[in-house]
Amino acid sequence: MFGIDEVRSLVQGSDHLGNEQKVVTRFPPEPNGYLHIGHAKSICLNFGIAQANNGDCHLRFDDTNPVTEDIKYISSIVEDLAWLGFGSGKPKHFTSDYFDQLYEWAEYLIKNGDAYVDDLSPDEIREYRGTLETVGKESPYRERGINENLELFRKMREGEFEQGSKVLRAKIDMEAGNLNLRDPIIYRIINVDHPRTKNSWRIYPTYDFAHGQSDAIEGITHSLCTLEFEDHRPLYDWLLDHLPVSIRPKQIEFSRLNMTHTVLSKRNLKYLVDEGLVSGWDDPRMPTLSGLRRRGIPADAIKTFCVGLGVTKANSTVEMAAFDACVREYLNENAQRRMAVIDPLKIILENFEEGRIEQLEVENSPKSESFGTRNLTFSREIYIDREDFMEDPPKKFFRLSPGKEVRLRYAYLIRCKEVVKDTEGKIIELRCTYDPETKGGSAPDGRKVKGILHWVSSHDAINAEIRFYSKLFNTEQPGKSAELIDDLNRESILVHKNCKLEPSLLKFGCEETVQFERLGYFCKDTDSSQINPIFNRTIELRDTWSKLNPSNIS
């Protein structure tokens, strides 16, 4: 087990390096999906170590399999990476750029008697490989002559053989306990054009034959990868030992990020998208970087979270609450405050003159004066949230109820005089009075008012749709004890229409997350338009009250 500092010292104290060698790491996504928070961990680790050591970190697309990869993913990956604050904005490294070198090295192996062309079928290869508990047996083609191998391999390259009919294998040890060493396939025929090399190649190197070598070509000193590649390290080293490479990258494994209440595998994420269970890769409920961004989570909050993660070899699952805490901590310091009413309940202030409008200058954040101030308008008719009024309140409810007094944030103390209902008995309006002596919210007589409500003035409030997002799955480990779909939280999105916002909110951009006081953090959604503003709830505020009295929250 090792911590991030140990990875750093591992890097710094590496004896496999020459004294003066610069540390170079790499982040090697395969262009076949979108980046998610798990990738962010790897990104922050790799780029972080490079920065800490005055080194470099290469974004390298590991594009060795043209059947699953697509060029369209490259731009999203580059974009997400740049959003996080890493990379130059344009991709510079591709495994496919090394196909010529890789091919040459394959011939080098053949010439040294370290690789051979195998005619066994895929089924036969599997059969010959043996099982976890029984050794494999050697292919009848294993002892072909070097010239025959060379000739066959060149014909493979020329496209003379059917896909699946031949492969190039490293000649290692069919009896090895580690299956990866049982003559691993290093080149296979794939009669498919490559997104970048087009129709130049009919054979493509496997991950095992491409990764370490690409590392060597780029001068990568530390190749950090996830635990499932531990078994591949002996092969990674074997290949480098048998090839004329000048530098020796070192593979170091650490555990991938797992989080509760979500899924972090391409397969499951793709399933959610393909089945229409979410609106797309950038659905605000998705743990993808594009989804988190759309939900309003700042890149810096993600980075802080990732830097704080343990870099160890223990399989672990981080509670979503830890991520939430990180997001709240960041937003509490950096987000401006505004007021918004989700479910408007009209209040008429009977003693406030009709037609009169008052301007109130209020701070944009209690955290720092540097956020500046804005004006709120106050008028005879205002809205509060329906949830903040109870006709027959429980004991500790200190919001508004008949006869009670509360403070309207930044404005005045008001007292509820009368509840107006429609014929159905639904409350449609509250008649209240305000205390003119309490402008700004403090009473000259020093009387304490515990309840404080957010509000907007009906005079200039704007209408908006607000989408409340919550965890995508109800269970901590979705799909563990049921089908994935059964664990889905069917209420992970709740849309509220006809919400009332203070007008200054119109000026905010999509990624400028603001706090709606007493409610949470929100940001404008990309679906938003001038006439139809839409906001996403990024995350709710901590709420001790609803936790203590869940039944009091409608």
Nearest CB to RNA, comparing residues 283 and 412: 412
Shortest distance, position 107 Cβ to RNA, whole Å: 19
Among 122, 244, 372, 436, binds RNA (CB under 7 A): 122
Taking CB under 7 A as the rule, does residue 396 contact RNA? yes
Residue 506, CB-side half-sphere exposure with 13 Å CA sphere: 13
Number of residues that bind RNA (CB under 7 A): 91
Per CB under 7 A, contacts with RNA among 194-223 are: 204, 206-208, 210-211
Q: Catalytic pick from 137, 248, 266, 346?
A: 266
SS (H, E, C) 384-421: EEHHHECCCCCCCCCCECCCCEEEECCCCEEEEEEEEE
Q: Catalytic pick from 137, 248, 256, 417?
A: 256
Nearest CB to RNA, comparing residues 283 and 502: 502
Chain position carrying tokens 């409500």: 453
Q: Provide the β-strand partners of residue 117.
A: 168
Does residue 525 contact residue 535 with C-beta atoms inside 8 Å?
yes
Q: Provide the β-strand partners of residue 71.
A: none
Does residue 212 contact residue 223 with C-beta atoms inside 8 Å?
yes
Taking CB under 7 A as the rule, does residue 545 contact RNA? yes
Taking CB under 7 A as the rule, does residue 319 contact RNA? yes
Chain position carrying tokens 């950090």: 224
Strand ranges of the sheet holding 167-170, from the earlier edge strand across to the other edge: 115-118, 167-170, 185-189, 203-205
13 φ, ψ to 5°? Answer: -95, 15
Shortest distance, position 43 Cβ to RNA, whole Å: 15
Which residues neighbour 30 within 8 Å (Cβ) at sequence distance 6 or greater?
61, 62, 63, 65, 68, 69
Taking CB under 7 A as the rule, does residue 160 contact RNA? no
Active-site annotation holds for 266:
yes
Taking CB under 7 A as the rule, does residue 380 contact RNA? no
Q: Which stretch binds RNA (CB under 7 A): 194-202, 295-303, 395-403, 505-513?
A: 395-403
Among 88, 112, 147, 163, binds RNA (CB under 7 A): 163
Taking CB under 7 A as the rule, does residue 437 contact RNA? no
Active-site annotation holds for 256:
yes
Nearest CB to RNA, comparing residues 283 and 453: 453
Shortest distance, position 345 Cβ to RNA, whole Å: 15
Per CB under 7 A, contacts with RNA among 456-515 are: 515
Shortest distance, position 256 Cβ to RNA, whole Å: 10
Residue 9, CB-side half-sphere exposure with 13 Å CA sphere: 4
Residue whose C-alpha is closest to residue 285's, from 29, 36, 550: 36
Shortest distance, position 422 Cβ to RNA, whole Å: 25
From CA 414, how far away is CA 210, in angstroms rounded? Answer: 71
Active-site annotation holds for 542:
no
SS (H, E, C) 26-59: EECCCCCCCCEHHHHHHHHHHHHHHHHCCCEEEE
Chain position carrying tokens 């496209």: 159
Nearest CB to RNA, comparing residues 210 and 283: 210
Nearest CB to RNA, comparing residues 154 and 409: 409
The site map against RNA for 10-49 (x = CB under 7 A) is: ------------------x-x-------------------
Catalytic residues: 30, 256, 266
